[in-house]
Chain A
Amino acid sequence: MRIVVIGAGALGGLVGAHMTEAGQDLTLIEINESRARLLTENGLLISEGSAGERCVRMKVAAKITGLPTADLIFVAVKSYQTEDAVRSALPVIGDGTYVLSMQNGIGNTETMARILGPQRVLCGITYHSIQHVGPNRLRYRAGIKPIQIAPHDGRITPAIEAIGEVFRQAGLDTNVVEKIDDVIWQKLLHNAVVNPVSALTGLTCREMLDDEDLQRFMRALCMEIVAVMRARGVPIMDEEDPYRPVIGSQKALGKNRPSMWQDLSRSNCTEVDAINGAIVEEAARLGLAAPLNFGLVRFIHSRERQKILRKRAIAETLASAAQAAPVAKARSLPKMHLRPTQLAPDGGMPSGRVPLRMAPRLKELLRNYYLDLQAASDGADRMVACCSGTGPVEIVRALGLTPYFPENHTALIGASRQSGRYIPRAMAEGFSQFASSAMACDIGAMLIGDSPLVSLYGIAGPPRPDVVVYNTNYGHSLIRWFEYYGRQYRVPVFGLHPSAALDAVDLIDTGAAAQQMFRLVSQLQGVTRRSLDVDRLAEVVGLSAQAARLWREILNLAESVPSPLTFFDALIHLAPMVLMRGTPEAVEYYEILKAELEERVAGNIAAVPGERYRFYWEGPPIWCALRPLSELFMSHSAAIVASTYADIFALDGFDPKNPIESMARTYTSIFPNRSDDYKQSYLVSRLRRYGVDGVIHHEGRTTPEHSNARYGLDVSLRRATGLRSIVVEADTHDLRLFSMDRIMSRLGEFIEMQEPAQETAAGSADGPDGPWKGNENE
């Protein structure tokens, strides 16, 4: 028999599954295309009671078009969908087709008969209890009574008997009878009493049974319906106490809730019109009053409206919000918009950082440096030395070599957010993502043959070195980086390895360092085929001394409150100290920069307008996130006034009268080369000098040597100074190794914590700008 089941809900699914298993040619119509796909691909899983589950694969279609004429159409949709379902089925309804409804409530077969004529309509009733336990899973219990099918016009034909046989063969106990009007009303009684009450109260059947008030109401409701049934001539199941069987069905349902509750909870329409609504209509037809049923229908409709309208309203709000301007992220709303800012007399930007006049000059300086570097790289008579940032560049310069600094190159890569392109290339070469990401960026760029220098300065790229020189004073992880250069370019690599982790730097240590420097001199003399001019060296060292002293004085200006410069400014302006240490240009630059900053101090001009908080940054910079960090601090009126990183380059101790020995002492004494005890007392004294509110420790994932917090320095520093601190777990270059969102929110939280505890009534918050909206500190 060709069967089409319209509606792939619990009932349609169950009947469809049984018929398909029995070998009938059955198609299940599910208009939701995703669900139709799911059922087609995964089948329907059904289980009876606690028995094993079986998977039934059926033919599932989303549309009826194209199907051949059916012998039987089984309508298993919700009552309010009956009309549409039947109309949609018209193409497959032929002269001999029967249409069977086994739906809840009353009126479905009348609707179908209106459209198709009475002869083809069959009415059915089932006592199965079926539950959805997943999008394609059903659990069911067979009814206590068999399924009953009756023709709408009361005339049983052989074809109808055959349909009953098909059901029985499919394992569904079924009787074909002349009329089922009575049993329909008897089932309706249960539905009409239990469904709406559970739907409105949200209670399970068990809970309703325990509620005296509800039971009294439901009993009265039952009797109202029974009166209608009696007037119709329907036999009452339990004449003595018509409500007793309804108690029974509540017990049977137990902790479940009926379908009307489920429909409402999913913000869908209910079948109340076909249940209680039909009772009200029938009562009116019979001249009876059904006020309780009438009331329930109104309540349910109201609830439907609330839920469905709410669902629609939410969807609309979200749809229109998505089209509107993006939601202002309240947290990042810059505070400066709300507070009066200090305007520089020469017109610094009112709502942003106050830029230093030196900035364009610096650009010019660096541009010249890189052009010269390019010339040195191209020139046959010039040589380039790859040099570490705190390496013995004075010797390099004195021998006429032009220094190039991979650490500076990688800082540029990080700051220009190119890390993501280069690190994977280095990883493909064999470097772990947990090895220095700074190194990986630089090496990756080298291997790809690309560099930010190209677009920034218009040069061909980093130069090809003739020799590589490093000093492990900044850390031992440098060694592998610089040795890679040596292998890559097949050039000699010369390293200085001063004694490390020193508490005091005594003569033995400086002696050893000096010896290494002498060795380096002779090695470089070999490479350059020149001998070192000691006067030239003294000159260079003298220039380094001047630049270093000026840089130190510049950093000291940050002790002013408010500070004329921040950590982010320092990162930009220390470039000459690294790239041009030992040249007159660097000295000249810092003289002018210092003058400008002194002018700021005199005019009380702050780098961070309205400076409220002062912090110290311990650890390397997070190069790959400088801009968002700088904006975060600016938006909180917080100034990072000092840092270890900038301090390192205030190299103290160069003496032109004793160039090698003073270099040995100076370079060996830098912060990263010292013991934890030294680091701690150094930091304690710096923190006091700068008058900071708190300390930010950057624990770089790939910079273990500079992640002092790993060894508890933050804790001991806090104990020694009483200052609050935060450990930010991030990295210098690799954004994948940490959560930017997380560190931004933690830093924001840390800064907010500095706000004084008691906000006295009125006063501070209601400043000249009045009460304001946004990120309030408490």
Chain B
Amino acid sequence: MSELARPVAGLDVGTEFVKAIVLAGDGAILGRASVPTRGYFQERAREALDAALDDAQTAEDELGGLCATGFGASLVHGATRTASEAACHARGAFHHIPGVMTVVNIGGQEPRVIRVDGSGQPTEIASLRHCAVGIGTFLMFAARHLDVHPTQLQELAAGAEQPAHVGSYCSVFAGVELLERLREGASREEVALGCIHSVAERVAEIIRFEAPIRVTGGVAEFFPGVLKRLSGLTGQTVEAIPEPMLAGALGAALKARDLASRAGSTPGAVVGTQAATAKPKEQG
């Protein structure tokens, strides 16, 4: 198999989930997986990669490269490269919808607004000031206070006409604020909606948004109400790319592919602990 045709993998080791993508040499997604992290960065990274390889019917020693990104990127054994989250999300979004755009990555931790140029490169990265980081994780805490599973928070919010306002910059304060709303008599539905709105409000404060706006990250998948509110606040269409949570892993996989194809047929590009038993390559 020539280097260009070898599949590659991308791992996005996030604070809430580890996401993995196995990409074919031609750029098609062969396998995908996401696993809750719960602080077990290495184990879950391993699990996610295995699950994606399983899904892709690919063995690890067939991979031509593995790129890691995200909070726990440095812990991935056998990565042939690491890449920054912003670059990966930009690349992942660009892969789905090429063109100049603003990528808004809202994941577990730091939301970022990334201006992407016509070649998929980030030209500007802005993120939240200080205390309002931890946005996706804030929604997990909100779900706990509201006694619903995080995947049901959006559903709960759908039952409200009005949001109960939660406005603190600090995720910790916002957690207390939502309890104050409950104490004042707001319904759980209204508070849920308020929390979802507050995430959009913090994101909208980052920078002036330029169309087109595309969202990546787990929050878009589990809490689409955030996008709706963000659209209202910016006065622009805000849409998630397909499989927004996997954007980082996809971008990472694409970068692994770039490195593999540039590296040509060098055996050193083989990933993981099976490196010593690499099969001889065909010269293409």
A and B found bound together: yes
In the complex the two chains form, is B268's CB within 8 Å of A771's CB? yes
Q: Does B266 reach chain A (CB closer than 8 Å)?
A: yes
Q: Does B75 reach chain A (CB closer than 8 Å)?
A: yes
In the complex the two chains form, is B84's CB within 8 Å of A749's CB? yes
In the complex the two chains form, is A773's CB within 8 Å of B74's CB? no
In the complex the two chains form, is A776's CB within 8 Å of B46's CB? no
Q: What is the distance, in angstroms, from B206's C-beta to the closest C-beta of chain A? A: 11
Taking CB atoms and an 8 Å cut-off, the chain A residues in 708-749 that contact chain B are: 724, 726, 729, 738, 742, 745-746, 748-749
Which single residue of chain A is at the shortest CB-CB distance from B85?
A749
Taking CB atoms and an 8 Å cut-off, the chain A residues in 284-310 that contact chain B are: 310
In the complex the two chains form, is A773's CB within 8 Å of B268's CB? yes
CA distance in complex: A757, B43 (Å): 35
Known: A317-B46, A750-B125. A771 touches B84 (CB 8 A): no
Stretch at the interface among B166-174, B220-228, B256-264: B256-264
Which single residue of chain B is at the shortest CB-CB distance from A774?
B81
Q: How many residues of B contact A (CB 8 A)?
A: 41
Question: Chain A 744-778, CB within 8 Å of chain B: the 1/0 string?
Answer: 01101110110001110110011000110111101
In the complex the two chains form, is A330's CB within 8 Å of B73's CB? yes
CA distance in complex: A773, B259 (Å): 9
In the complex the two chains form, is B46's CB within 8 Å of A330's CB? no
In the complex the two chains form, is B129's CB within 8 Å of A729's CB? yes
Q: List A contacts of B79 (CB < 8 A).
A: 330
Q: What is the distance, in angstroms, from B104's C-beta to the closest C-beta of chain A? A: 16
In the complex the two chains form, is B74's CB within 8 Å of A329's CB? yes
Q: How many residues of A contact B (CB 8 A)?
A: 36
Q: What is the distance, in angstroms, from A390's C-beta to the closest C-beta of chain B? A: 29
Q: List B contacts of A331 (CB < 8 A).
A: 73-74, 82
In the complex the two chains form, is A757's CB within 8 Å of B119's CB? yes
In the complex the two chains form, is A749's CB within 8 Å of B75's CB? no
CA distance in complex: A726, B114 (Å): 12
Q: List B contacts of A752 (CB < 8 A).
A: 84, 87
Q: Does A380 reach chain B (CB closer than 8 Å)?
A: no
Q: List B contacts of A310 (CB < 8 A).
A: 50
Q: Does B123 reach chain A (CB closer than 8 Å)?
A: yes
In the complex the two chains form, is A724's CB within 8 Å of B81's CB? no
CA distance in complex: A759, B50 (Å): 32
CA distance in complex: A327, B41 (Å): 13
In the complex the two chains form, is A748's CB within 8 Å of B84's CB? yes
CA distance in complex: A388, B119 (Å): 51
Partner of B87, one of A321, A759, A770, A778: A778
Q: List B contacts of A332 (CB < 8 A).
A: 74
Known: A330-B73, A724-B124. A773 touches B80 (CB 8 A): yes
Q: What is the distance, in angstroms, from B95's C-beta to the closest C-beta of chain A? A: 13
Q: What is the distance, in angstroms, from B268's C-beta to the closest C-beta of chain A? A: 7
Partner of A330, one of B74, B125, B269: B74
Known: A749-B84, A757-B119, A778-B255. A771 touches B43 (CB 8 A): no
CA distance in complex: A649, B42 (Å): 49
Q: List A contacts of B123 (CB < 8 A).
A: 724, 753
Question: Chain B 242-268, CB within 8 Å of chain A: the 1/0 string?
Answer: 000000000000010011001110101
Q: What is the distance, in angstroms, from A511's C-beta to the closest C-beta of chain B? A: 41
Q: Does B187 reach chain A (CB closer than 8 Å)?
A: no
Q: What is the distance, in angstroms, from A91's C-beta to the closest C-beta of chain B? A: 39
Q: Does B127 reach chain A (CB closer than 8 Å)?
A: yes
In the complex the two chains form, is A771's CB within 8 Å of B81's CB? no
Q: Does A314 reach chain B (CB closer than 8 Å)?
A: yes
Q: List A contacts of B101 (CB < 8 A).
A: none
Q: List B contacts of A321 (CB < 8 A).
A: 42, 77
Which single residue of chain A is at the shortest CB-CB distance from B109?
A742
Which single residue of chain A is at the shortest CB-CB distance from B87?
A778
Known: A330-B73, A749-B125. A776 touches B42 (CB 8 A): no
* Consensus secondary structure, chain A interface: mixed
Taking CB atoms and an 8 Å cut-off, the chain A residues in 325-360 that contact chain B are: 327, 329-332
In the complex the two chains form, is A773's CB within 8 Å of B122's CB? no
Question: Chain B 85-97, CB within 8 Å of chain A: the 1/0 string?
Answer: 1110001000000
In the complex the two chains form, is B77's CB within 8 Å of A327's CB? yes
In the complex the two chains form, is A729's CB within 8 Å of B84's CB? no
CA distance in complex: A28, B119 (Å): 66
Q: Does A318 reach chain B (CB closer than 8 Å)?
A: yes
Partner of A771, one of B46, B68, B119, B262: B262
Which single residue of chain A is at the shortest CB-CB distance from B40?
A318
In the complex the two chains form, is A330's CB within 8 Å of B42's CB? no
Q: List B contacts of A317 (CB < 8 A).
A: 46
Q: Does B201 reach chain A (CB closer than 8 Å)?
A: no
CA distance in complex: A329, B264 (Å): 25
Taking CB atoms and an 8 Å cut-off, the chain B residues in 160-180 that contact chain A are: none
Q: Does B155 reach chain A (CB closer than 8 Å)?
A: no
CA distance in complex: A454, B125 (Å): 44
CA distance in complex: A766, B263 (Å): 8
Q: What is the distance, in angstroms, from B63's C-beta to the closest C-beta of chain A? A: 14
In the complex the two chains form, is B124's CB within 8 Å of A776's CB? no
Which single residue of chain B is at the shortest CB-CB distance from A763?
B262
Which single residue of chain A is at the shortest CB-CB distance from B265?
A771
In the complex the two chains form, is B269's CB within 8 Å of A776's CB? no
Q: What is the distance, in angstroms, from A140's C-beta to the closest C-beta of chain B? A: 23
Q: Does B110 reach chain A (CB closer than 8 Å)?
A: yes
Q: What is the distance, in angstroms, from A672's C-beta to the closest C-beta of chain B? A: 22
Q: List B contacts of A771 (CB < 8 A).
A: 262-264, 266, 268-269
Q: List B contacts of A329 (CB < 8 A).
A: 74
CA distance in complex: A318, B46 (Å): 10
Q: List A contacts of B255 (CB < 8 A).
A: 776, 778
Q: List B contacts of A330 (CB < 8 A).
A: 68, 73-74, 79, 81-82
Q: What is the distance, in angstroms, from B278's C-beta to the closest C-beta of chain A? A: 15
Which single residue of chain B is at the shortest CB-CB distance from A751?
B84
Question: Chain B 44-84, CB within 8 Å of chain A: the 1/0 string?
Answer: 00110010000000000000000010000111010111111
In the complex the two chains form, is A745's CB within 8 Å of B84's CB? yes
Q: Does B183 reach chain A (CB closer than 8 Å)?
A: no
Partner of A753, one of B81, B122, B258, B264: B122
Question: Chain B 102-144, CB within 8 Å of chain A: the 1/0 string?
Answer: 0000000010000001010111110101100100000000000
Q: List A contacts of B74 (CB < 8 A).
A: 327, 329-332
Partner of B121, one of A750, A770, A778: A778
Which single residue of chain A is at the shortest CB-CB distance from B263?
A771
Partner of A775, one of B50, B77, B81, B127: B81
Q: What is the distance, in angstroms, from B144's C-beta to the closest C-beta of chain A? A: 15
CA distance in complex: A514, B215 (Å): 58
Which single residue of chain B is at the shortest CB-CB distance from A329?
B74
Q: What is the distance, in angstroms, from A86's C-beta to the closest C-beta of chain B? A: 36
In the complex the two chains form, is B83's CB within 8 Å of A776's CB? yes
In the complex the two chains form, is A757's CB within 8 Å of B117's CB? yes
In the complex the two chains form, is A778's CB within 8 Å of B46's CB? no
Which single residue of chain B is at the shortest CB-CB distance from A322?
B42
In the complex the two chains form, is B87's CB within 8 Å of A749's CB? yes
Partner of A318, one of B42, B86, B121, B124: B42
Q: List A contacts of B117 (CB < 8 A).
A: 757
CA distance in complex: A314, B268 (Å): 25
Q: What is the distance, in angstroms, from A731's C-beta to the closest C-beta of chain B? A: 11
Q: Can you report 28 residue pairs joining A to B where beta carbons are below 8 Å apart?
A: A314-B43, A327-B74, A330-B73, A330-B74, A330-B82, A332-B74, A726-B125, A729-B130, A742-B133, A749-B86, A749-B87, A750-B125, A753-B86, A753-B122, A757-B119, A757-B121, A758-B119, A759-B262, A761-B262, A762-B262, A765-B262, A775-B82, A776-B81, A776-B259, A778-B83, A778-B87, A778-B91, A778-B258
- 3 interchain residue pairs of minimum CB distance: A771-B263, A749-B84, A329-B74
A314-B46, A331-B74, A775-B82 provided; 10 other pairs, C-beta below 8 A? A331-B73, A729-B130, A742-B133, A750-B125, A752-B87, A771-B268, A771-B269, A775-B81, A776-B259, A778-B121
Interface of B toward A, CB cutoff 8 Å: 42-43, 46-47, 50, 68, 73-75, 77, 79-87, 91, 110, 117, 119, 121-125, 127, 129-130, 133, 255, 258-259, 262-264, 266, 268-269
Interface of A toward B, CB cutoff 8 Å: 310, 314, 317-318, 321, 327, 329-332, 724, 726, 729, 738, 742, 745-746, 748-750, 752-753, 757-759, 761-762, 765-766, 770-771, 773-776, 778
